[in-house]
Amino acid sequence: MSREDTRAREEFTSEAEELLDALSRDLVEFEAQGANVRPELVNKIFRGVHSLKGLAGMLGFGEISELSHNLEDMLDKLRMGRIAITKELTDLLYDAVDTLNRLVMAINDPSLQALIDITNLTSRIHQAVTNQPEQKHQDPFAELTLDEQTRKSLTEYEEHRLIENVRSGKHILAVEVTFDLADFDERLRVLTASLSDAGEVISTLPALDGIGGSGIAFRLLYGSLLNEAAVAAIAPDAKVSSLRKPTAPARTVEEGGLAIPEAPADEDLSIRSLSQTVRVDIGKLDHVMNIVGELIIERTQLETLTHSPEVQQVRMLSHELTKISRNLDRRLNELQKSVIETRMVPVGQIYSKLSRTVRKIARELNKEMELILRGEDTELDKMMVELLADPLMHIIRNAIDHGIESPEARRAAGKSPVGRVTLDAYQQGNSVVLDITDDGRGIDPENVRAVAVKRGLITDREAIDEHRIVELIFTPGFSTAAAVSEISGRGVGLDVVKRNLQEMKGTIDVLSKPGEGTTFRIMLPITLAIIQALIVRAAGEKFAIPLTSVEESLRIYTRDIRTVERREVFTLRESTIPLLRLSDAFKLSDGHDRGPDAKWFVVVTRSGEKTVGLLVDALVRQQEIVIKSIGERLKSTPGIAGATELGESEIILVLDAGSLIDNFGGRAREYRAGAVVQA
């Protein structure tokens, strides 16, 4: 394949994904509006499918083009009122978009082709188009004083929309207006937008100029719940008259003497792009970010050189180097901020995929589901958004399968038969938090405990709190389900979800109340490229702790350290915090024993709802670092996230606070010595 063909294919998949994501969001709104779907929304869906068909046909993707063509034909009949809106039709639209999405993915992954059944879907579309009962209605134009010339000027679609407005009992009005030739296009656009907020502009027809040829006149056919007086208030420069005969009054809603529409106005659905964006391959951004990372290392080396004793002796040279260092620092910070912002995308990019999946799973399980999505504008690094899709999908899939009860069970428990899953994304400091909450049966700690005892994970007499019991669900292969279902039993457990999130330097925590529901809380750094870190020293070695994990730091004395249940702890504002010595976690020699008045530093770190104090010898400084991957031999070592270069070729380890807490907690001393630590 030539370079041009490869580039064209990549551009097509990117464009197709955007179109399909938009279609998925539109289908959610389509389903919510029920049988009274606004025509603007149907037209928007129609245009999206038409655009995809054109793109696929131009680049030779025959299956996508053919399926889009069949879907476009069905949508055309839908917008013309020849197909009724039913649950079966909505299911078909969702399945069609899902199949189109798989076809697009199969361009780069041919193995997905085996999962696609175009023949069956095409047959369903054909049945939906051909198996519609004939509808006989009286002539709706008999209710209007519409001249023959105007009627002949209407397109087939405009005539259909006029008929629908007549049948729904709306006022049918003629809005006649004349504009000056210099600005008629802008003024007509403004008038049309204002009228669309309270009704439907069915047709815009040119009319005879009533001011002697110095302007241009238009006659708008308008359907609305507003009466003539209310429409005249919206368009004070226009002549407004009713086209309905007096024997057929339209429904009007009055509030305080002013007619208002029953339904909320829809948004302006112009197809013109409002965003000034350019697609950039993520590989190119990675390359730029690597360059920024190398510049940061060079900046660190320059700062080190500037403050060296040799340079300080030469006052003029030191002054110039300091000036250069400050300028470089300022420009580099601007470049870094710009590149990071370029990589940021809203998490809403994956919301549409989640909506399709939730609907499909709920249908397969015969459950009624409502998915509530919030915080779609919250931004994350593009690469992290892509990596986040699978963990989110698995958590939501398990919530629907195991967490949400059947409609009958929910009624018996006094709940709504419609289960609810809420995904809420929001920023918290330098992190992004995602809460996945369901209102299902919750996690039963006693059930989890029984399974853990049966599998030998804990003893029958071991005393552990409910929070620790719930955490056992992240054990590899752990399941409390009586039977593995096709929906959630797909070889991926919550242990894999947790491991994937830890690779993204994130954490996951569980909050559950039996009978009320469960919340999975995911916390992620905004970006993994360049981060702020606290450099510490323990047993003569330096380590970097990402600031996203640091709550605070403080100094204590040896006499402040106590031992409770074989774990070292200290008291912080009346709370008992477990201590973890980095020297113990990595089996480093302290060099000498310390007396009760010896000074230590504690870095209080948090992972989800768990807090631990990392005990170190010294706090060196706060610094921006670039995390580099490490070899396979060290990759599986608990507590290590990667490595970074501080300057002067000094390489240190970057700590993963969440992994340290999960693997050691407050038992690092016991782990190192293999024996009980004495107080």
* Residue 536: predicted pLDDT: 92
Record the tokens describing residue 481, joined without a space.
Answer: 């389900």
Pick the range with the lowest mean pLDDT from 256-270, 440-454, 542-556: 256-270
pLDDT band at 213 (very low <50, low <70, confident <90, very high): low
pLDDT band at 437 (very low <50, low <70, confident <90, very high): very high
Residues 353 and 485 grouped into a single domain: yes
Residues 440 and 548 grouped into a single domain: no
* Residue 603: predicted pLDDT: 93
Domain boundary among 194, 219, 247: 247
Record the tokens describing residue 143, joined without a space.
Answer: 């209710």
- 3-state SS class at 456: coil
Contact 99, 116 (CB under 8 A): yes
Q: Which helix (H) or strand (E) holds 401?
A: none
Q: Who contacts 450 (Cβ-Cβ below 8 Å, separation ≥6)?
A: none
How many independent structural domains does the chain possess?
Answer: 4
* Residue 666: predicted pLDDT: 55
What's the mean pLDDT in 579-602?
Answer: 80
The span from the CA of 271 to the CA of 23, in Å, is 14
In a domain, 558, yes or no: yes
Count the helices and strands in the chain (H runs, E runs): 22, 24
Residues 54 and 34 grouped into a single domain: yes
Provide the CA 352 distance to its chain's centre, in angstroms: 8
In a domain, 484, yes or no: yes
The Cα-based distances of 223 to 219, 294, 300, 340 in angstroms read: 13, 63, 68, 49
Q: What is the mean pLDDT of the chain?
A: 77
Residues 166 and 29 grouped into a single domain: no
Q: Is 478 exposed, middle or buried (0-12, 13-18, 19+ CB in 10 A)?
A: middle
Contact 398, 488 (CB under 8 A): yes
| pLDDT surpasses 50 at 274 | no
Q: Which stretches of 344-381 are DSSP H helices?
A: 351-365
* Residue 593: predicted pLDDT: 61
Higher-pLDDT residue of 291, 576 = 576
Pick the range with the lowest mean pLDDT from 78-82, 321-325, 425-429, 613-617: 321-325
Cα angle 53-56-62, degrees, rounded to a multiple of 5: 100
pLDDT in tens, 454-497: 877 777 776 666 677 777 788 776 665 554 444 443 334 688 88
Determine if the pTM surpasses 0.75. Answer: no
Higher-pLDDT residue of 36, 16 = 16
Domain boundary among 102, 130, 158: 130
What's the mean pLDDT in 276-293?
Answer: 66
* Residue 673: predicted pLDDT: 52
Residues 180 and 197 grouped into a single domain: yes
CATH of residue 200's domain is 3.30.70.1150
CATH of residue 420's domain is 3.30.565.10
Domain boundary among 97, 130, 163: 130
3-state SS, one letter per residue, for 508-554 = EEEEEECCCEEEEEEEEECCCCEEEEEEEEECCEEEEEEHHHEEEEE
Residues 509 and 367 grouped into a single domain: yes
pLDDT in tens, 388-400: 888 888 888 888 8
* Residue 260: predicted pLDDT: 34
Higher-pLDDT residue of 306, 615 = 615
| pLDDT surpasses 60 at 380 | yes
Residues 573 and 664 grouped into a single domain: yes
| pLDDT surpasses 50 at 20 | yes
In a domain, 146, yes or no: yes
Pick the range with the lowest mean pLDDT from 121-135, 169-183, 430-444: 121-135
* Residue 30: predicted pLDDT: 86
* Residue 269: predicted pLDDT: 31
In a domain, 272, yes or no: no
Residues 350 and 383 grouped into a single domain: yes
CATH of residue 122's domain is 1.20.120.160
Most confident of the following: 48-52, 273-277, 359-363: 48-52
* Residue 259: predicted pLDDT: 37
Residues 514 and 374 grouped into a single domain: yes
The span from the CA of 228 to the CA of 216, in Å, is 23
Contact 380, 345 (CB under 8 A): yes
In a domain, 74, yes or no: yes
What's the mean pLDDT in 350-359?
Answer: 78
Q: State the DSSP code for 181.
A: T
In a domain, 112, yes or no: yes
List the domain range (segments joined by +) for residue 44: 3-130
Higher-pLDDT residue of 609, 408 = 408
In a domain, 679, yes or no: no
Provide the CA 331 distance to its chain's centre, in angstroms: 32
* Residue 132: predicted pLDDT: 62
Q: Who contacts 621 (Cβ-Cβ below 8 Å, separation ≥6)?
A: 535
Q: What share of the chain is helix, strand, coil (3-state, %, to 5)?
A: 45, 25, 30
* Residue 423: predicted pLDDT: 92
* Residue 424: predicted pLDDT: 93
Residues 64 and 147 grouped into a single domain: no
* Residue 602: predicted pLDDT: 93
In a domain, 172, yes or no: yes
Residues 621 and 600 grouped into a single domain: yes
What's the mean pLDDT in 46-53?
Answer: 88
Residues 516 and 392 grouped into a single domain: yes
| pLDDT surpasses 80 at 427 | yes
| pLDDT surpasses 70 at 284 | no
